Amino acid sequence: MKAPVLDISPEAAEAFTWPLGIDRRLGVPVGAQLRGQLEYGIACGDIPRGVRLPSVRELSQELGVAHVTVAGVYKELLGLGLIVTARGRGTFVADAPQPPPGPDLARLTRLLSEALAQAGAEGYSLRQIGDTVTMLLSRGHRPAQVGVSVLLVGLFADATRSYAADVQAALPSGDRVQAVTLDDLKAGHSGESVGAADVVLALAHRLSETRALLPGREIIPLGFMPSQRTRAALAALSPMIRLAVVATFEEFLPTFLGGVRRFAPHVSEIRATHLHAANLQSVLDGCDVAIYATGSESVRALMPNKPAFEYRHIVDPRDIEGLVLPAVAQKKETL
């Protein structure tokens, strides 16, 4: 079965191909598989923002999936804000929010012109004004900078703290990042962190849930990618082992399995399941090593005498550079 094509918008030169596929041997509903692959692909940047998705009819024919199933998946993704429709053009992955504009140089010119005019009106010569400005600049005379408070909303506590550390490492000294989970927000356990936050970040595929819990707040969605440590651990696996792959949510199992195969193509014996599957224990009993998704840490207790490690992600550095840092810089201008 050939892979469906996701065409870049008309302005772009090349088409983007995403290998969607349905594996009926996994025991995961077809609709859940399709939604999981699209949701994960968008959140992790495998399906770039702004590309055109196949129509419902095209995708239905390519995958051999019922038209109503594909239509239902697209409707769910629309509700999550991951995709958008444009009348007469098709369905597209939602674009990232535009970074805030840079400093207004025209306003700076006006401020300095007013200051020069005021100084001249009070009898200071241009030379005196110039010497004073030069002296102030040489001393690094600037107003005290106020730190920006960033709130990162995640799904699982440990992973969310790790994502917050990714962002913190990129921020200027004095700015701080706090981590809370969606469950914290639902239970009202976020303390004063929400009200004090200047910038709010959320997982791209959990954006609608975060918005519902923080109405009226501007929220920046973040993409993710497998960490270098995860990729290295998979590449280092022996080709002779029996590997178990455990997803936390069944809809992400096909994509999770695909990622494992991408970074460990040399491992031929792989069995895949999810955390709540009836066959979980038997799959773990029959493996030598297990890799589990974030949120499935309980796998370790189910196989205490065998190695198991987490498929961990990091925040996409492109989103930190292109979305977070400009938002923090803009907020600092107003503090």
Question: Is it true that domain 149-226+316-334 has CATH number 3.30.70?
Answer: no
- Please answer whether residues 175 and 148 qualify as being in contact, where contact means their C-beta atoms are separated by less than 8 angstroms: yes
Q: Is the pLDDT of residue 288 over 50?
A: yes
> pLDDT class for 26, splitting at 50, 70, 90?
confident
Q: What is the pLDDT of residue 334?
A: 74
Place of tokens 């992600």: 313
Mean pLDDT of 195-217: 91
Out of 166-180, 186-200, 275-289, 314-328, which region has the weakest mean confidence (pLDDT)? 186-200
pLDDT in tens, 153-196: 999 999 999 999 999 999 988 899 999 999 999 998 776 778 88
CA distances from 24 to 19, 34, 123, 246, 251 (A): 16, 12, 85, 17, 13
The amino acid present at 191, given as its one-letter code, is G
Q: What is the pLDDT of residue 43?
A: 84
Domain ranges in the chain are: 5-93, 105-138, 149-226+316-334, 228-311
Q: Is the pLDDT of residue 141 over 60?
A: no
> pLDDT class for 12, splitting at 50, 70, 90?
very low
Domains 5-93 and 228-311 share a fold: no
> pLDDT class for 145, splitting at 50, 70, 90?
low
* pLDDT greater at residue 109 or residue 209: 209
Quote the DSSP letter at residue 192.
Answer: T
Q: What is the pLDDT of residue 134?
A: 81
Q: Is the pLDDT of residue 225 over 80?
A: yes
Handedness of CA 269, 273, 275, 281 (dihedral sign): negative
Mean pLDDT of 102-123: 78
- Please give the Cα distance from 316 to 5 (Å, whole number): 24
The amino acid present at 204, given as its one-letter code, is A
CATH of domain 5-93: 1.10.10.10
- Please give the Cα distance from 332 to 172 (Å, whole number): 11
* pLDDT greater at residue 4 or residue 112: 112
> pLDDT class for 230, splitting at 50, 70, 90?
very high
Question: Is it true that domain 228-311 has CATH number 2.60.120.1270?
Answer: no
Question: Can you name the residues that pair with 308 across neighbouring β-strands?
Answer: 290
> pLDDT class for 1, splitting at 50, 70, 90?
very low
Q: What is the pLDDT of residue 154?
A: 94
* pLDDT greater at residue 205 or residue 177: 177
For the chain, what percent of residues have pLDDT higher than 90?
A: 54
Average pLDDT along the chain:
86
